Amino acid sequence: MRSAMRTLDRGTLRHIALVCLADALVGASFGAIAVSGGLPAWVPVAMSLLVFAGGSQFAAVGVALAGGGPIAAVVTGLVLNARLLPFGFAVADVLGGGWRAKLLGAHVLTDESAAFTLLQRDPKARRAAFWICGVALFVVWNIAVLLGALAGGAIGDTDALGLDAAFPAVLLALVLPSLADRSVRNPAVAGAAVAVAATPFLPAGLPVLLALLALVPAARAALRRTPARTSGSEAEPQREAEQEHEPRSERRPEPLAEAR
């Protein structure tokens, strides 16, 4: 680990430390809210050790505390955590060839570890950034959740401290960067509208899953655009081939492309 830390510059290590500090505060809030909401202390601790996905943990526990069933809680967490799938492909080169390393790497893969890895260009620096950030966050997060769970029983009413805002704050922080893209923003707004409209009529957790219906029009629009691009790209080589066999005297002059 020391040799890996020497691979990274001090600025990157400082940023990783700051991220760990911020996640420690969120983890403590998660543990405290879960216990004060009525869950046994071992539940948030076990989730942090076995799942280790802050956003999914918040979502699953939020659904459970709101009265939703376990299936709705698990599916909500899985849907939210699906965002890490493309990150896994992007940082696959740092995991090595052994299945044990890949399994451990998949477990400590987070938004933060993927982000620090993608910022590096050197293969050794990429590997060091991923493992240092991933392992450090795993240790800090689990300690913070344990301390928060122990404190949650003593605090009682976490709403009085404003910790109840941690659930929407974490989820909003995960979503906001993606909303800059219009193709993501429109389905997100439509899904939110569906969830809000269904909340008075469906049990807790189901409106969130029903909001996935907003992805159907977006997926269909994406599928319609894909063949158009393909046909256009295939038509260009065909037109060039026809011009090759066309008599030079009958060729139409091409318009000037650009003035250089």
| pTM recorded for the entire structure | 0.63
Highest mean pLDDT (candidates 106-110, 172-176, 236-240, 248-252) = 106-110
Sign of CA dihedral 5, 107, 28, 196: positive
For 99-140, the pLDDT digits (tens) are 888 888 889 998 888 888 888 888 888 988 999 999 999 999
Describe the chain by its helix, strand, coil percentages, rounded to 5.
80, 0, 20
In the predicted model, what is the mean pLDDT of residues 174-191? Answer: 75
User: Average pLDDT in the 159-169 region?
Assistant: 58
The DSSP line for 150-217 is HHHHHH--GGGGTGGGHHHHHHHHHHGGGGGSHHHHHHHHHHHHHHHHHTTTS-TTHHHHHGGGGHHH
Q: Name which of 14-18, 95-99, 100-104 the model is least confident about.
A: 95-99
